[in-house]
Amino acid sequence: MSNNTELLRLQQVQKTYQMGPSTLHVLKGVDLQVHRGEFVAIMGASGSGKSTLLHLAGALDTPDTGEVLFNGQSLTRVGRWARHHIRNESFGFVFQFYHLLPELTVLENVMLPAMVGAPWYQAIVRARPKKDEALNLLDRFGLTARLKHRPNQLSGGERQRVAIARALINRPALLLADEPTGNLDAKTGAAIMDAIIAWHKERKQSILLVTHDPTIANLADRTIHLVDGRVRA
């Protein structure tokens, strides 16, 4: 693909963590590109730094050295609040453990990203235009009958579908998924991946997904392997 289709680029990204007296070198000069409309899977052994890489790509964390570029803009050089804004408006996140707020209903959880960044007295007003979109997403994922349910009233597959709808509510340029089926049985996990693939094909949704499952990785347009803190195609 040509460079003008590039959405995300990581250049020589390094990340270390201090574990008591020891320094853990997780990423050792990672280079990675994701193009618009592309589905990229990241595979690697447990502890290889897959989640760390995803967090850096989605501006949840910053590298020690190197550059993270999104739409040509450096995410490592902008201020904290600008990074928060870009993350909320341009990225959608799906995690293994759902991270739904237990006190909110299904519909409220999905609409939550639309409220982020607004003062409490404006949050409901700001989110109101998103209600129809939230309802459409929940209908698409077969959750219309669960709108007023709370997370503890849902199955694992239903919770993950709510999490996917929440990730898509702001129409993100890039969907980042960290082991989205890792907490589900094989049948439910396959249904979740069917929903993600369908959205990717219909909406040309760009996706960066972490998995340890080669069956899931084979669904991607391209798979990269993280080995010893470095990317191998």
Delimit the domains of the chain by residue range.
37-55+79-232
CATH topology for 37-55+79-232 is Rossmann fold (3.40.50)
The pLDDT score that the predictor gives to residue 205 is 96
| 96 burial level (CB within 10 Å; 0-12, 13-18, 19+) | middle
Q: For residues 233 and 224, is the Cβ–Cβ distance under 8 A?
A: yes
The pLDDT score that the predictor gives to residue 154 is 96
Length of the chain: 233
Determine the Cα–Cα distance for residues 127 and 116; give it in Å rounded to an integer. Answer: 9
The pLDDT score that the predictor gives to residue 1 is 43
The pLDDT score that the predictor gives to residue 124 is 61
Going residue by residue through the chain, which has 233 residues, state the pLDDT in tens, using 9 for 90 and above: 444 699 999 999 999 998 889 888 999 999 999 999 999 999 998 888 999 999 999 999 999 999 999 999 999 888 888 898 899 889 999 998 889 999 999 999 999 887 775 555 555 656 677 888 899 999 999 999 999 999 999 999 999 999 999 999 999 999 999 999 988 999 999 999 999 999 999 999 999 999 999 999 999 999 999 998 899 86
The pLDDT score that the predictor gives to residue 217 is 95
The pLDDT score that the predictor gives to residue 76 is 87
The C-alpha angle 63, 168, 207, rounded to 5 degrees, equals 50
